[in-house]
Amino acid sequence: MKVRVLGCSGAIARECRTTSFLVDADVLVDAGTGVGDLTLDEMHGIDHVLLTHAHLDHIAALPLMLDAIASRRSSPVRVYALAGTITALKDHVFNDVIWPDFTRLPTADKPFISFEEIQVGQVLGIGNKRIEVLPAVHTVPAVGYSVAAGHAQWVFSGDTGPNPAFWQRVNQLDVGMLVIETAFSSRENQLAETSQHLSPAMLAQELDCIDAHQHYPIYITHTKPAETELIMSEIRQLEDHRPGSRRRAHDIRWLQAGQEFEL
Ligand SMILES: [Zn+2]
Ligand SMILES: [Zn+2]
CA of 105 to the centre of ligand 1 (A): 28
Report the C-alpha gap between 251 and 218 in whole angstroms. 6
Dihedral sign, Cα of residue 200, residue 201, residue 207, residue 209: negative
Question: What is the C-alpha separation between 178 and 172, in angstroms, rounded?
Answer: 13
Flag whether pLDDT at 37 surpasses 60: yes
Judged by DSSP in three states, 180 sits in: strand
Quick one: pLDDT at residue 247?
Answer: 59
**Ion ligand 2: protein residues whose beta carbon lies under 5 Å:** 55, 57, 159
> Which ligand has the shortest distance to the CA of 183?
2
Taking the CA of 181 as reference, the closest ligand is 2
Asked, as a colleague might, if the bond just before 217 is cis with ω within 30 of 0, I would say no
**Beta strands at 218-221 and 129-135: parallel, antiparallel or unpaired:** unpaired
The per-residue b/e assignment along 235-244, b for 16 or more CB within 10 angstroms, e otherwise, is beebbeeeee
Q: 24 pLDDT exceeds 50?
A: yes
Q: pLDDT value at position 245?
A: 46
Question: Which of 124, 160, 136 lies closest to 49, judged by CA?
Answer: 124
Average pLDDT over residues 220-229: 95
- Is-contact 191 161, C-beta < 8 A? no
The ligand that comes nearest to the alpha carbon of residue 19 is: 2
pTM: 0.97
Question: Measured in angstroms, how far is the CA atom of residue 115 from the centroid of ligand 2?
Answer: 21
What is the reported pLDDT for 244? 60
Q: Are 204 and 240 in contact (CB under 8 A)?
A: no
Q: Give residue-wise pLDDT tens across range 149-202.
A: 998 999 999 999 999 999 999 999 999 999 999 999 999 999 999 999 999 999
Q: The sheet that has 175-181: what strands, in order across it?
A: 123-126, 129-135, 143-148, 153-156, 175-181, 218-221, 252-254
Ligand 1 centroid vs 89 CA: distance in angstroms? 14
Within 13 Å, how many C-alpha atoms sit on residue 164's CB side?
0
Q: What is the mean pLDDT of residues 194-214?
A: 95
DSSP codes of every residue in 228-257: HHHHHHHHHHHHHT--STT-----EEE--T
Taking the CA of 10 as reference, the closest ligand is: 2
Which residues sit with Cβ closer than 5 angstroms to ligand 1, an ion? 55, 159
Ligand 2 centroid – CA 124 distance (Å): 23
From the CA of 52, how far away is ligand 1's center (Å)? 9
The stretch 82-98 carries a mean pLDDT of 98
Q: How far is the CA of 55 from the centre of ligand 1 (A)?
A: 5
Ligand 1 centroid to 138 CA: how many Å? 7
Q: Do residues 89 and 95 touch, judged by C-beta distance below 8 A?
A: no
Q: How confident is the model at residue 45 (pLDDT cuts 50, 70, 90)?
A: very high
* pLDDT tens profile 226-263: 999 999 999 999 888 776 645 568 999 999 999 999 99
Cβ pair 170, 158 in contact under 8 A? no
Task: Kindly give the distance from the C-alpha atom of residue 248 to the centroid of ligand 1, in angstroms, as a whole number.
Answer: 30
Nearest Cα residue to 27 out of 112, 127, 102: 127
Find the ligand nearest to 138 CA. Answer: 1
What is the structure's pLDDT at 240? Answer: 83
User: How many C-beta atoms lie closer than 10 Å to residue 90's C-beta?
Assistant: 13
Q: What is the mean pLDDT of residues 39-51?
A: 98
C-alpha 54 – ligand 1 centre gap (Å): 7
The alpha carbon of 107 and the centre of ligand 2 are apart by a number of angstroms equal to 32
57 Cα–ligand 2 center, Å = 5
